[in-house]
Amino acid sequence: MSSSTTTGNTNGNKGRPGREERREERDAREYRLLTSLDSENKSYIYRTDLEEAIAREGLSLDDYRFKETRKLLAEIGPNDRLDYRAFCEIIRPSILLAERALQGNMVIRDFDEFCRDITEIYQSTLPNTEGKVASYIPQLARVNPDQFAVSLCTVDGQRLSLGDSKADFSVQSTCKPINYSIALQLHGEQVVHGHVGREPSGRGFNELTLNHDGRPHNPMINAGAIMCCSLLKREDEINVADRFDLVMDTWRRLSGGTKVKFNNSVYLSERTTADRNFALGYFMREQQAFPASTDLLETLEFYFQCCSIEVNAEQMAAVAATLANGGICPISGERVFETKTVQHCLSLMYSCGMYDYSGEFAFTIGLPAKSGVAGALMIVVPNVMGICTWSPRLDKLGNSVRGIEFCRRLVATFNFHNYDTLTGHTEKKDPRISRVQARAESVNELIWAASKGDLGAIQRLVVRGTGIDRADYDRRTPLHLAAAEGQVAIVEWFIGRGTDVNPRDRWDTTPLDDAYMQGHEGVIAVLEKHGGVRSGVEFSPPIDVTEMAEHNESGLTNELIWAAALGEVKAIQRLIARGVDLDGADYDRRTPLHLAAAEGHAHVVKLLLDQGVRVSPKDRWGGTPLDDARRHRHGEVVSLLDRHSLASRAEPAATPEPESAPAIYCERMSNS
């Protein structure tokens, strides 16, 4: 392996004669990534630290994007230390993906929490045993009806599978959007829609009916699917087997290169019970709907073969994720369909994909989907993920009973419905935003706007559903901050909207206390007029403003302080990887260390101290983190801060340049 860079002396080579120690510069972005995993500031990590961090984000080192990184990790023992140089050489072949994962910038931010929610939805749906398996195709009638699988794959390749996710099933009607997309790729929109319409039929999926032009209504019903099969013919085609090879290869590519199967017994079963499909074929031939020189029997046989392709839930989730990702498979990185093709396909899945339930599904679920009578349901959350549910019991319309219930619970929990984000505010969870970020944005934006006197921003936030009495981690409200900053008009506006005039913060102080402490006579008059009271708590703000923590208006700082208040170590590590200032402070000059100390999160206090934060920053009222810990009687935190305070006072005035990673650079790597 080639060497990477580090500041100071590389201790990994200490004691090895003939090897020079070099002084090189670190790459700031790479070093932040190492630091985010090095919670104790040891300047090294272990292999498992990296592997576990990647797994927490829903990624696997078996992912093709980690191919080279996986090979390098295989050379390292679980107890070998990785210093800066070793760490960089391992992650550089996949540096951008590793950075996004360690920074928590995947499309689903808190993937472990998201997995818990999906698992709960799965478990809640599992007891539903309503419906019956499809009986008109004999092979489908023999499937175990109790099987249930849920699998999902995000556009970033994060994956989760539950239940019978490895069990194979025939794709049946879920082949229709795929065949339609292949036809678009081969011939374009104008040719394809010269033979098949794009309107919901309002009839049964296999009903003997065509539109007013004598064409199938859309590609998602049987007549339209048969028509699309007649279009899957390339100019260089030698025989009909080439068409089936094209379809099988497309399924393979959509699923990330996995092996796709064909069930001959299902095909024969389909063929012997296909009178209605034969009738549809002859009806369309009578209307001269097919392309010239179409062999009808050959086309029908091909359609039955396409329905008899077999995949499992994990494979179909990857197929759905490819559609969610605009035609690029997140597992392999290969572009399978053009973006325009996927746009057309998802539009028809949204309006026509769920048989006679399509309108109701679009109304209540609001996502593109396609069902099949084998029990599969392929759901697409555009730009987020693909989901597959599989449960053989069907309702009277031919859709999986459990699949429909799972979707109802899914959109009741998450804001995945196509129109959930119209106002930007919903009580549903948004997994595209971390829990900490959601808390920070919902509260701090309103408080910050109040402190700055931005009435327009306050009104917009309130219209979108933000409560005017929401409080932050210190129970500070917008009224507290407006009073502290002398914003008379904002104070009057909040009082006029019926806000509590005397909310109490962590220190039991009221907005009137803030106004008196800062000497804002106008605010004092308004608050006292409307019943404002003082708490009697006295503070002594620091005379030297340099003793106060520096206010940082960055959104990352707000997230960090919330993470510290909530004890969210993982969120803090992600923010370290993104380069956040660990000494940044909020509008009250409160730092992450203040909040971790106040809430008694000793593990967070230790993490921050090990990262070298200031031990005694002062807030608006002159309080330090140690004051917070003592006030709330967090003995372990008091001891930690006392020890670091003594250590910092004992340090010499001039500190020499720190040496770099004291790790043992693993032998196999250093000798390569």
Q: Is 46 a catalytic residue?
A: no
As given in the structure block, the two tokens for residue 192 are 């394809």
Q: Is 173 a catalytic residue?
A: yes
Which residues touch 204 (CB under 8 Å, ≥6 apart)?
355, 356
CA terminus-to-terminus distance, the chain = 5
Phi and psi dihedrals of 119, rounded to 5? Answer: -65, -40
For tokens 């993104």, what's the residue? 578
As given in the structure block, the two tokens for residue 148 are 């249930």
Which stretches within 465-545 are classed as H helix?
Answer: 478-484, 488-496, 511-518, 521-529
The answer to whether 277 is a known ligand-binding residue is yes
The answer to whether 270 is a known ligand-binding residue is yes
Q: Write down the catalytic residue from 150, 171, 373, 637.
A: 373
For tokens 């996949």, what's the residue? 94
Q: Is 373 a catalytic residue?
A: yes
As given in the structure block, the two tokens for residue 217 are 């209504």
Q: What residue type is assigned to position 590 of the chain?
A: R
Q: Write down the catalytic residue from 44, 122, 180, 303.
A: 303
HSE-CB for 87 with a 13 A CA cutoff:
32
Q: Write down the catalytic residue from 173, 230, 269, 358.
A: 173
The answer to whether 263 is a known ligand-binding residue is no
For tokens 């914003």, what's the residue? 487
CA distance 137 to 374: 10
Q: Is 266 a catalytic residue?
A: no
Following DSSP, what letter does each residue of 425-464 receive, concatenated? --SSB-TTS-HHHHHHHHHHHHHHHHHHT-HHHHHHHHHT
Give kind and range of the element (H or E) at residue 222.
Answer: helix 222-231
Q: Is 303 a catalytic residue?
A: yes
Phi and psi dihedrals of 314, rounded to 5? Answer: -65, -40
Give kind and range of the element (H or E) at residue 74.
Answer: helix 67-74
Contact between 220 and 349 (Cβ < 8 Å): yes
Nearest CA-CA partner of 185 in 256, 239, 255, 253: 253
The full 3-state SS of 477-493, as one line of letters, equals: CHHHHHHHCCCHHHHHH
3-state class of 230 per DSSP?
Answer: helix
Q: Write down the catalytic residue from 355, 516, 587, 665.
A: 355
Nearest CA-CA partner of 599 in 474, 418, 462: 474
Q: Write down the catalytic residue from 176, 233, 370, 606.
A: 176
The answer to whether 473 is a known ligand-binding residue is no
The answer to whether 373 is a known ligand-binding residue is yes
Which stretches within 530-634 are classed as H helix?
Answer: 555-566, 569-577, 592-599, 602-610, 625-631
- Decide the pairing of beta strands 261-262 and 309-311: antiparallel
- Annotated binding site: which residue ranges? 173, 222, 270, 277, 303, 355, 373
Q: Could you list the active site residues?
A: 173, 176, 303, 355, 373
Which residues make up each annotated binding site for substrate? 173, 222, 270, 277, 303, 355, 373
